[in-house]
Amino acid sequence: MQLEERNAQDNDSTMMHFVLLGFSDLPNLQGLLSGVFTIMYLTILIGNSLIFIITRVDPTLHKPMYFFLANFSSLEICYVSVTLPRILFNLWTQNRSISLLDCAAQLCFFLILGATECFLLAVMSYDCYVAICNPLHYALVMNPKRCAQLAAGSWLGGIPVQIGQTCQIFSLHFCNSNQINHFFCDIPPILQLACEDTSAHEASVYVVAMLFVAVPFMLILASYSKIISTILRLPTAKGRAKAFSTCSSHLLVVVLFFGTVTITYLRPKSSHSADNDKLLSLFYTVVIPMFNPLIYSLRNKDVIASLKKLLLKM
């Protein structure tokens, strides 16, 4: 395995490509990692595709909750496809070089889809809020037009800002090294390669993270405070259990995703380390999307029933 490195002593200070170190520090585990990531990618594709299919073909699931779930499953497929194929390519070929343009494109799509996930999780919490706190107005509030608008806003809302942030980051001069100590092009390890002051860029990252992570999370907290308050006022234990089961899967996904993202992007720079960043990133870019179909299917009787019907027809 060869890793091409450049540093500040090179005559040309304009970096034309990077090297993703990834898991190169584990040379004896390359074959095992390749197999594990291949299985994980196939699991994500199959699991999320099944949820998307059953929510589209089963008329009993033509409800706002499952419309957003179908969007979420599609998003997870796109989200992992930004990083996992590149990880697999690097492991299979041991060619870890990535051009400046490809690195910028990967970061841009990763940020856009990450923002979409934050927005979509907030929209799904709003759907739960309306279903539990205003059930009599649910059909009126969450009508097909409103659902389409909320989904489109989630998909498109982060595009302008994240494109701008990507352009800002790649306007830096990189001359310290061309080795990115990560398995994909992410903001913290890229900023470490800059040979100029990055304090303004780091401040910009925090502001954008607050906008696309903290604000949706606060909206989710506000929704669930109302939801929990409403559930606790229900007269029967059976009613409380049924109401809580409606949103429990979504709540679990929110805690897992926002917990790891917050630790990664909003913790102080002094506490960053390459190994911890890679582990956390691996969790929210691969592990959580792999378990999301299980979380939503195993805790939802309607999804299980629709999945059984689909499998019996095959």
Within-domain flag for 293: yes
Question: Across residues 194-198, what is the average pLDDT?
Answer: 84
Domains: count for the chain: 1
CA atoms within 13 A on the CB side of 228: 8
The rounded distance, in Å, linking the Cα atoms of 294 and 281 is 20
Identify the residue with better confidence: 62 or 300: 62
**CA nearest to 262, candidates 121, 69, 59:** 121
| pLDDT of 269 higher than 70 | no
The rounded distance, in Å, linking the Cα atoms of 26 and 29 is 6
Quick check: 215 and 121 in contact, CB under 8 A? no
The SS3 call for residue 180 is: strand
Within-domain flag for 11: no
Return the pLDDT at 205: 87
Q: How confident is the model at residue 9 (pLDDT cuts 50, 70, 90)?
A: very low
Domain coverage including residue 102: 18-308
Main-chain dihedrals φ then ψ at residue 157, nearest 5 degrees? -60, -35
Return the pLDDT at 25: 80
CA distances from 89 to 84, 185, 192, 300 (A): 9, 14, 24, 36
Q: What is the CA radius of gyration of the chain?
A: 21
The rounded distance, in Å, linking the Cα atoms of 304 and 64 is 18
Return the pLDDT at 11: 39
Question: Residue 41 belongs to a domain with what CATH number?
Answer: 1.20.1070.10
**CA nearest to 22, candidates 92, 70, 80, 116:** 92
- The total number of residues shown for the chain amounts to 314
pLDDT per position as a tens digit, 136-163: 999 999 999 999 999 999 999 999 999 9
**CA nearest to 165, candidates 214, 117, 112:** 112
Q: How many helices (H) and strands (E) does the chain have?
A: 13, 3
Return the pLDDT at 14: 55
Within-domain flag for 13: no
Return the pLDDT at 198: 85
Within-domain flag for 2: no
What 8-state DSSP symbol labels residue 236?
S
Question: Across residues 60-83, what is the average pLDDT?
Answer: 93
